[in-house]
Amino acid sequence: MHSSRTDSRMAIVGLVLANLVPLVGVVGFGWTLHSILVIYWLESGVLGAAYVAKIRRAEGEDDPDELPEWEFSGFGESETKSLTDLVGTSNRRIVSQFVQFYMVFWLFHGVFVLYGLPNEYPSLEVASPSVVAVAAVGFTVSHAVSYRIKYLGAREYERNGPVTLMGEPLHRSFVLHVTIVFAGIPIELAGSPAGAVGLLVVLKTYFDLEAHRREHERAQRPPSTSSAS
């Protein structure tokens, strides 16, 4: 138990440090709003890749009563209509469904951030490639370390169901997209003051910590073995 708490604290520290990179960039180096939004879009892609690895490794059981009521009709040739339809199926099939749905949302988000916002707001200062690269590396390292220390090292894969995991990044990406729409656009209209952009970074960090808390609490349940693999 002590090791589990230590691993969780280390994961939290890594998460906060990764989120501090854009915050320091905004306050200390004048990173623009668009740079932050592009960075978050790229991070959501890294997050999706991390969850592909988690879902493939998951050995826990899913509780259909705890799954959100999301429909997946219209994706591929599968007859799957909701998350509950995936419970008990192979991890490989769950990964396939996740990738199809997540990629559509991620690409839509990317079109909005990369093309929609600059076209809608010509005054928006376009993201700097070097700035985006620095932050993207930080987020990638953070997710990789979390996967190795928390998920594998603390054996959280034994207590996480693959379908339950599928819902986590979808929820986080949706919240991030809504935050961009309802916070990022007003910030741009106000002239992108550093304090407001910094507040957006703080909000995003809060949502990340909440997602970490939910996943950690679920991982404290007694391990169970699922036949899906």
AA letter at 114: L
Give kind and range of the element (H or E) at residue 141: helix 129-146
Q: Per residue of the chain (229 residues), what is the pLDDT tens digit?
A: 445 566 567 667 767 777 777 777 777 777 777 888 888 888 889 989 999 999 999 998 888 888 877 776 545 545 556 788 888 899 999 999 899 888 888 998 889 888 887 887 777 788 888 888 887 887 888 888 888 887 888 888 888 899 988 878 877 777 777 777 776 667 766 665 666 667 777 777 787 777 777 766 666 665 544 444 4
Other beta carbons less than 10 A from residue 101's beta carbon = 17
Q: Tell me if 95 sits within 8 A of 53, measured CB to CB.
A: no
pTM of the model: 0.77
CA terminus-to-terminus distance, the chain? 27
